[in-house]
Structure 1
Amino acid sequence: MRNPFVQAATAAPSSATLRPIRVLLADDHVITLWGLRQLVESAHPRLAVAGTAGTCCEVLEHPNLAQTDVVLLDLGLRDASALQCVPRLVGECGVKVVVLTGELDPGLHREAVMLGARGVVLKSQPADHILEAIERVHRGEVWLDGSLMSLLLGSVPGLALKHAGPVDLQRQSIESLTAKERQVIQAVVAQRGAKSLVVADALGMSEHTLRNHLTVVYSKLGVRGKLDLYVFALEHGLAPGAAVPRTAAGPRVGPYTGLDRRAALDAAA
């Protein structure tokens, strides 16, 4: 039977494989990690295990990460949502990410892809799907369930991503924020100009965890740092009760534009 998965954005495979694809395995269950290692090693010499990790922190600090080609990432790591790892793995570390999950929520899968993952494999699917997903993603393809591909391409009735304008996409990015991410945004605004450690203390979390949350928030909202986030939050009502910066003409009511953005940035400094 033909594989029901859809691959897109194909790239021409190399005519010769000089070395195996190095895969870093991330799962917080020891037995699952053992099974994944056996599976990947069974595909030698095409694939090789670069290492294993049980938490987001271990993934990001793994000594072999720089030599890794693909990270096989479970979404349920014990220290944090693995979604927090994806933008840093893709953007900072330059590796490709295949998500392995038991979660059936298509919204969660979509979020992983929007953050940079290039493959989603369910744990209920055959083991050979995992191997094929790793190899295809390494070649530059996208490995997704057909229904998720439809969702991403906007062919699901009522979603209409094809015809969504900038305002619609912005609204969708805001709606994708979790309750914790909204708390982080509110704390950044309330503690404007404060060091990350101060904001982290106010939230009752470590500075490292705060950075992970901010990385995801920046990626979702398309902002580049705390100052941009501060302005975005005021413009879109993400910080209820925040003081409204004054311009030369007095307090501003409503969205910020032009010189009003400068006033907001000055207030955040």
Structure 2
Amino acid sequence: MSIRVLLAVNHPIVLWGLEKFINESPQIQVAGKATNGAEALLLVREQQPHILLLDPSLGRESGVDLIPGLLAEGNFHVIIFTEIRDRTAVDTAVLNGARGVVYKEEPAETILKAIEKVHKGELWLDRSTTGRIFISLLRPGKNTACLITEKITTLTPKERAIVNAFAEESGASNKKIARTLCISEQTLRNHLTSIFSKLDITNRFDLFMFAKLHRQEIGPPMSRLSQSIPSTSSL
């Protein structure tokens, strides 16, 4: 099945070129084009793409700030498509949920590679960006350890199993994770809403990073908690 990509770029000529180039790939197709945040939100809801290629400069709007709201509308990954090498903007985009960054001066083939890799659940980030993100997440703040412990203690055993599942199956869809846990997608979504609220996070990428960084505090892996996950009907 083709990878469905939604393009959100402010410049019509760039959109035209991207669509023409991407559609030449037998494995990828453009599912829609947007030039502003409202259009991107509408198309995400209607088209349910696999990948959103997002320009952080959407006219007067900040594409970076739109990422959490867009990700809340579907099960897809965001790749930033930018010409500005602004470390702060890039780091903020990744912390908001972007899974990759492609710069406009890079070879066109890089876009296709990034789309394919991110669709498989991988990150498309250079080493320096990855290093900065991990350092920012690991940097201890005042009472950080206590706050994290307090958040984790609010999770139920079922919710801890779900958090572990996200750590163990990086990039897996809600459907796959729900099937692994023997629960319905709707039940999983309900639990994720609770988990996001308790951990004070906004998207799946934040959940993945939290789970990876705090596996010991969260508890045993999913396989050892499987008996605590009852059937779909009893959840």
Same fold (TM over 0.5): yes
Counterpart pick for 2:78 among 82, 97, 108: 97
Task: Say which SS state the counterpart of residue 120 (structure 1) adopts.
Answer: strand
- Distance in 2 (CA, whole Å) between partners of 1:42 and 1:65 is 23
Report the CA distance shift for 1:65/1:138 in structure 2 as closer, same or farther (over 3 A): farther
Contact 1:56 1:79 in 2 (8 A): no
Deviation at 1:64, TM superposition (A): 6.5
Instruction: Count residues in correspondence.
Output: 151
Cα distance, 1:26–1:111 mapped onto 2, change above 3 Å: same
Superposition map of 1:48-59 within 5 A: 48-59=29-40
Q: Which has the higher helix share?
A: 2
**1:28-71 deviation digits (Å, cap 9, x = unpaired):** 11110011101211112x00010100001100012774431100
Closer, same or farther: CA 103–167 of 1 in aligned 2, 3 Å: farther
Q: What root-mean-square deviation, in Å, do the aligned CA atoms of Structure 1 and Structure 2 show?
A: 2.6
Q: AA paired with 1:93?
A: G
Equivalent residue number for residue 30 of structure 1: 12
Tell me the residue number matched to 1:40: 22
Instruction: Verify: 1:162 aligned to 2:138, yes or no.
Output: yes
Aligned-pair identity (%): 38
Q: TM-score, normalised by structure 2?
A: 0.58
Is the 8 Å Cα contact of residues 89 and 96 (structure 1) preserved in structure 2?
no
The structure with the largest alpha-carbon Rg is 1
One-letter code of the match for 1:134? I
Shift of 1:93: 2.1
Match of 1:88 among 56, 65, 69: 69
User: C-alpha distance in 2, partners of 1:57/1:72?
Assistant: 15
Does residue 48 of structure 2 align to residue 67 of structure 1? yes
Is the 2:4–2:29 Cα contact (8 Å) retained in structure 1?
yes
Give ranges in structure 2 of 5+ residues lacking alignment. Answer: 146-195, 203-235
TM score, norm. by length of structure 1: 0.51
Residue 113 of structure 1, CA deviation: 0.5
Residue pair 2:53, 2:81 contacting (<8 A) in 1 also: yes
